[in-house]
Amino acid sequence: MIRRIVLSAALGICAFSSTYAQNAIPIPDTLTGNAITLNMHRDSVQFFPGAKSQTYSFNQYHYLGPTLILNKNQPLSITVNNTIGDTTTIHWHGMHVSAINDGGPHTMIKDGDTWNPQFTVLNHAAMFWYHPHFHGKTAKQAIKGAAGVIIVRDNEEATLALPRKYGVDDYPIIVQSVQFDAQNQAMPLGMQDSTLLVNGTINPMLAIPAQVVRLRLLNASGERSFNFGFTGNKQFSVIGSDGALLTAPVTTTRVRVAPGERYEILLDVSGMNGQSIYLMSYASEIPMGTQGGPTMPMGMGNPPMDSPLNGVDFNILQLNVVPATTGAITTIPTTLVAHTPWQEQQANITRPIRFTAANMMVMDGPFFFNDSTFNMMRIDYQIPQDNIEIWSLTNQTMVAHPFHIHDVQFYVLDRDGNPPPAYERGLKDVVMVAPNQTVRFITKFEDFADTIVPFMFHCHILMHEDAGMMGQFVIVPKVTGLTVTPITSGIKIYPNPTNNNLTVRFGDNPAATFNYRIVNAMGQTVQSATLQQSYIDVASLPAGFYQLVIEQDHKLYVSKFLKQ
Ligand code: C2O
Ligand code: CU
Ligand code: CU
């Protein structure tokens, strides 16, 4: 049995009173400053009559977590305490931080442990978010509520006449569509998701003042895309995308938002005091093949995906307009921030990535990049620091995939050769790729060389990601003459597994001098040295998997080994 919420469609502007109970959404409290603590814990919420739903959340919350408000260029130290009863990782989605601080799948926090990333905030003013990234369990953990938003402010944004009073005229709107089972528990693989949560609230309502308000939309769903709009096709202005404000507001009646994506919009409700409108998804306009569009006919071996939200227009959040505040923003600026996108001719390389599946009929995965499933032991790309790259994403599957890359923000160049819609021309870290489509983006891999800890790229449909639609890259330092070679060429390391020693042989040169680093599963360097002998003593390492990085004669070799 699948739990369903019956949705009422509101097509006109309606009066305040409503036929079913509305719950005011919480605007999460903020954390600021240079030292922030996040306590990730187990909790539960009474979403439905009967059993409570088990959740994961942060600090005082039963679901989701506080909003981090950060300033560009500030130093930041975050203490993450994990008490969920399971291993996790916490990732700062969209933020430009070094790989060791990024919270990807290699940076595990065991139950009862603490993780303390430290970095300088380098992003532009925009909204980012944090969520778990423990490989294989990202969907399970995120869908139980382990997420929160990050708002970065900067000097450029501060000079613009924009609403920025958090919770007064500037709101984080975290939209999730979740499937709950008959025991009221969130289902990570739920493709019949039908419960809509806004900031963790069912039947959500928000009171907004009769002026220009700023809504920071985040789609934190596991798989569903939304085609956001308002009652009666009311116009709004998109002012920002994943990683920055746009060059100018884009006036529209729709913005398509895939899992992981964010858009900031301005909505002018001046003169509407006492009225209500809804944030909606006009999902009837979403094409078949994109999750949220009409249900696809069942393919071979696929489960049904007949959510009542598929392919129909529905309300998401009731907005009740209340009197304007003093000092209200009443106009929408004509320009925002300057962008200088990288030019195609600057690119050092184009990387083609095909989205694939075992066969063409597969609708629920597993899906792959270039036919190979994710492997934590395999580095897919070694990218020279400061490379400007075009990534060319071709979707050869039947369903749409929102592609996300860590470390960088990018500019979308084109979709099948056509320029993207105006609101997609700013900085982004997630881009939707429709079936049979090729999307190209351009980016630059600045700042964070680390030959050991990789960054991820993956589909942000969480079940696809968990099932292996993910890859990883390292940024190699710009050292003249340094080339990166897979460990299999020109080097032998044995035995693997080992108890005491690893013998290292470079071709037929038994006495080479080399540098090495051994990195544990937490991404920490546990042993390093320069050696002139043909073996590495690993006797003192605790049992487990390690990454061995060797540099010899301007070549870099990377491999995993098992210490018994
Ligand atoms: Cu929001 Cu790698 O993820
Ligand atoms: Cu990310
Ligand atoms: Cu996908």
- Note the pLDDT tens digit of each residue in 94-143: 999 999 999 999 888 999 999 999 999 999 999 999 999 999 999 999 99
**CA separation, residue 375 to residues 306, 466, 543 (Å):** 32, 11, 20
Return residues with CB closer than 5 A to ligand 2 (ion). Answer: 93, 406
Q: How many helices (H) and strands (E) does the chain have?
A: 3, 40
Averaged pLDDT for residues 260-272: 98
Q: Do the strands 401-405 and 450-459 form a parallel or antiparallel pair, or are they unpaired?
A: antiparallel
Omega before 497 within 30 of 0, i.e. cis: yes
Asked whether residue 6 carries a pLDDT value surpassing 50, the answer given is no
Question: Which residue's alpha carbon is at the smallest distance from atom 1 of ligand 1?
Answer: 93
- Note the pLDDT tens digit of each residue in 391-445: 999 999 999 999 999 999 999 999 999 999 999 999 999 999 999 999 999 999 9
pLDDT at 484: 54
% residues pLDDT > 70 (the chain): 91
pLDDT at 504: 87
- Note the pLDDT tens digit of each residue in 192-218: 899 999 999 999 999 999 999 999 999
Amino acid identity for residue 284 in this structure = S
Task: Pick the atom of ligand 1 nearest to 456's CA.
Answer: 2
**505 contacts 487 by C-beta, under 8 angstroms:** no
Check if 384 has its Cβ closer than 6 Å to any atom of ligand 1. Answer: no
Please give the mean pLDDT across all residues of the chain.
90
Averaged pLDDT for residues 6-15: 42
Asked whether residue 300 carries a pLDDT value surpassing 60, the answer given is no
Asked whether residue 250 carries a pLDDT value surpassing 60, the answer given is yes
Check if 93 has its Cβ closer than 6 Å to any atom of ligand 1. Answer: yes
The Å distance, Cα 429 to ligand 2 centre, comes to 8
Instruction: Tell me the pLDDT band of 530, cut-offs 50, 70 and 90.
Output: confident
- Residue 300's CB is within 10 A of a number of other CB atoms, namely 9
pLDDT at 329: 96
Q: How far apart are CA 450 and CA 106, in angstroms?
A: 13
Asked whether residue 369 carries a pLDDT value surpassing 70, the answer given is yes
Task: Pick the atom of ligand 1 nearest to 430's CA.
Answer: 1
- Note the pLDDT tens digit of each residue in 351-365: 999 999 988 778 788
DSSP state for residue 376 in the 8-state scheme:
T
Q: How far apart are CA 241 and CA 129, in angstroms?
A: 13
- The candidate with the shortest Cα–Cα distance to 271, out of 218, 311, 238, 234, is 234
- Note the pLDDT tens digit of each residue in 458-494: 999 999 999 999 999 999 877 555 555 555 567 888 8
**337 contacts 245 by C-beta, under 8 angstroms:** yes
Asked whether residue 3 carries a pLDDT value surpassing 60, the answer given is no
Check if 262 has its Cβ closer than 6 Å to any atom of ligand 1. Answer: no
The Å distance, Cα 399 to ligand 3 centre, comes to 7
Q: How far apart are CA 495 and CA 492, in angstroms?
A: 9
Q: How far apart are CA 408 and CA 96, in angstroms?
A: 6
pLDDT at 501: 92
- Non-local (6+) Cβ contacts of 487 within 8 A are 493, 550, 557, 558, 559
pLDDT at 8: 44
pLDDT at 17: 43
- Note the pLDDT tens digit of each residue in 49-90: 999 999 999 999 999 999 999 999 999 999 999 999 999 999
Averaged pLDDT for residues 6-25: 55
Task: Pick the atom of ligand 1 nearest to 104's CA.
Answer: 2
- Non-local (6+) Cβ contacts of 159 within 8 A are none
Task: Pick the atom of ligand 1 nearest to 131's CA.
Answer: 1
Q: How far apart are CA 272 and CA 176, in angstroms?
A: 28
Task: Please give the model's pTM, rounded to 2 decimal places.
Answer: 0.87
% residues pLDDT > 90 (the chain): 75
Averaged pLDDT for residues 443-465: 93
- H/E stretch holding 157 reads helix 155-158
Asked whether residue 14 carries a pLDDT value surpassing 50, the answer given is no
Question: 3-state DSSP call for residue 528?
Answer: strand
The Å distance, Cα 246 to ligand 3 centre, comes to 27
Q: How far apart are CA 120 and CA 441, in angstroms?
A: 26
Phi-psi sector, 128: left (phi>0), alpha (psi -120 to 50), beta: beta
Check if 464 has its Cβ closer than 6 Å to any atom of ligand 1. Answer: no
Q: Which ligand is closest in space to the CA of residue 95? A: 2
Asked whether residue 176 carries a pLDDT value surpassing 60, the answer given is yes
- The candidate with the shortest Cα–Cα distance to 384, out of 347, 339, 355, is 347
Q: Which ligand is closest in space to the CA of residue 462? A: 3
